[in-house]
Amino acid sequence: MTSAVLPGAPFRPGPRCDHAAAWQTLTRLWDAQGRDLDMRAAFAADPQRASRYTWEAAGLRVDVSKQRWNADIQAALTDLARECALEAHRDALFDGQAINTTEGRAVLHMALRHPQRWPGRANAEGLDEVVAVRERMLAFADQVRAEGSPYTDIVNIGIGGSDLGPQMVVRALAPHTDARRRYHFVSNVDAADLQAVLDQVRPESTLFIVASKTFTTQETLANARLAKAWFLREGGSDIARHFVGVTTNLKAAADFGVTTTFGFWDWVGGRYSLWSSIGLPIAIAIGSAAFRDFLAGAHAMDEHFRTAPLATSLPVQMALLDLWNRDFVGCPTRAIAPYSQALQRLPAYLQQLEMESNGKSVDFDGQPIAVETSPVIWGEPGTNGQHAFFQMIHQGTDVVPVEFILIREPDHPHRDAHDKLLANGLAQAQALLQGKPTDEARQEQAPTASRELDPDCLARHRTFSGNRPSTLIALDRLTPARLGALIALYEHRVFVMGSLWGLNSFDQWGVELGKALCSQLLGRISAVREGQADAAAGLDASTAGQLAWFFGPR
């Protein structure tokens, strides 16, 4: 489906954060208060600190009291947002202006979760079709779920935004899904990924969804072709009933041979696309009614972001903290720790959302950005992470802000186990805050094996500095609506961070070079195999050597 933003007011970004006067204030505040800010003392001095820094929106409860900030810092950060014209940028986003300047596109994934036609002034092509396409997609999803449907296995073939979002959500909402079907996600061009799924399914009971915004992605097309060949080889006959496409490129999908296609539009970024037809596996898994709840949760967060003042806006305040942690506290990474096995793919999903959006070094004008931008996002569900990398989070030389995500009511009957899970999450946040002073460590009974050691030395090994930041995001339940709100919160937070850094969060030029070189290398590999002497001509010596080792005569 083609689309372009029809002419409107051209978007002009506000001043970049490091050019704003408030940046100087923040620099002074960092020296005067931030650097030595001890959160334990701050809690002791202010009995209201926990409630002052616990906010709610769209059913999410976020506690940022265990962050290294105070009222002065928060006020200066909020001034920074104001001075950087964040509100104007946000309004331009919701207005449908072409804020994705390098691709000349609007950014309107919020229109996909609006219950009716997008009411704003945006006039991007396709907006009139959103509701109709959604209804068609949901009707199809319900058909696939209906009694007597032949499908036992749904295989989504897609990568990046056409994989991570739907996969994360389908796993997260497993208790809400139709258990009569299995959901598979194939992304990697490593055919082992596809083969592992093909080994488990039968052509007559499998629905393949070929999901690609562009329908040009090497991995997805390669896997789709392999799946189609397997389908025919195994006796499958009705391609039209077993392969559907989800794309903005209807022609390429038709050329591939799918006849049922659900479209979307180029004002939906790949990593923001799970609300569109790319969400088809989600809709099949949870059904149209729950999918609407999922959209409604995200829409509630959109409304909060669009209307709440900067000082009480959850995405804004969380983004300001992110900027504070990155550029003043100096944290190169942020860990995501969902205490929920259901959210096991959330860290991977957020890696794309945040790092592909804000992993940039130039601003809107193409000028180098003078401060650090996207941190590395990483993580694992708790409690698994505790037994792997939390050592470094508690005692390593880098400060790693941790985002704990805790869900009050489990979707299983094992209440005692759930209490343990929650206690673990809360205890980790508590340990990061309070630490353990060397004096206290010295009083402890040393483990037998260490008795020979100098007690002072051992006590230092057993010391926790504490005063390490964390945020706690609490949900009453992991419902479709709450998950929708959580994802939308992250999306808007990423937008705010990018806006303050003065960069375009909605392009991804950094993925292009590797793709182009891969195509060239595929040509050279054929040449090496054919024994052409100049196959590696002009390559760096390392790559040339590897080509010879992998593909040359043995």
Ligand X SMILES: O=P(O)(O)OC[C@H]1O[C@H](O)[C@H](O)[C@@H](O)[C@@H]1O
Active centre residues (catalytic): 356, 387, 515
| Residue closest to 248 by CA, chosen among 162, 186, 374, 370 | 162
Burial-class residue 509 by CB neighbours within 10 Å (0-12, 13-18, 19+).
Answer: exposed
Distance between CA atoms of residues 170 and 392, nearest Å: 31
Q: How far is the CB of 505 from ligand X (least distance, A)?
A: 12
Residue whose CB is less far from ligand X, 351 or 467 = 351
In the complex with ligand X, the residue whose CB is nearer, 2 or 384, is 2
Closer to ligand X by CB, 14 or 270: give it.
270
How many helices (H) and strands (E) in the chain?
23, 11
407 strand-pairing partners: 475
For helices 218-233 and 191-198, angle between their N-to-C axes, nearest 10 degrees: 30
Contact indicator for 410, 418 with CB cutoff of 8 Å: yes
3-state secondary structure 167-205: HHHHHHCHHHCCCCCEEEEECCCCHHHHHHHHCCCCHHH
Q: Indicate the DSSP class of residue 451.
A: T
Binding site for ligand X (CB under 6 A): 159-162, 212-214, 217, 220, 270-271, 356, 508, 511
CB of 116 to ligand X, least distance (A): 27
State in angstroms the smallest separation of the CB of 212 from ligand X.
3
DSSP string, 39-77: HHHHHHH-TTHHHHTEEEETTEEEE-TTSS--HHHHHHH
- Residue 213 or 345 having the CB closest to ligand X: 213
Spatial distance between the Cα atoms of 9 and 3, rounded to a whole number of angstroms: 17
Q: Are the beta carbons of 102 and 507 closer than 8 angstroms?
A: yes
Rounded (10°) angle between helices 280-307 and 480-501: 60
Closer CB to ligand X, residue 174 or residue 254?
A: 254
Closest separation in Å from C-beta 3 to ligand X: 15
CB of 216 to ligand X, least distance (A): 7
CB nearer to ligand X: pick between 513 and 541: 513
Of the candidates 426, 353, 432, 366, the residue with the CA atom closest to the CA atom of residue 395: 432
3-class secondary-structure state, position 263? strand
Cα 537 from chain centroid (whole Å): 40
CB of 164 to ligand X, least distance (A): 8
Sole residue written with tokens 């954060």: 17
Give the number of residues written for the chain.
Answer: 554
Q: Which is nearer to ligand X, 240 or 511 (CB)?
A: 511
Closest CB 508 distance from ligand X, rounded Å = 5
Identity of residue 122: A
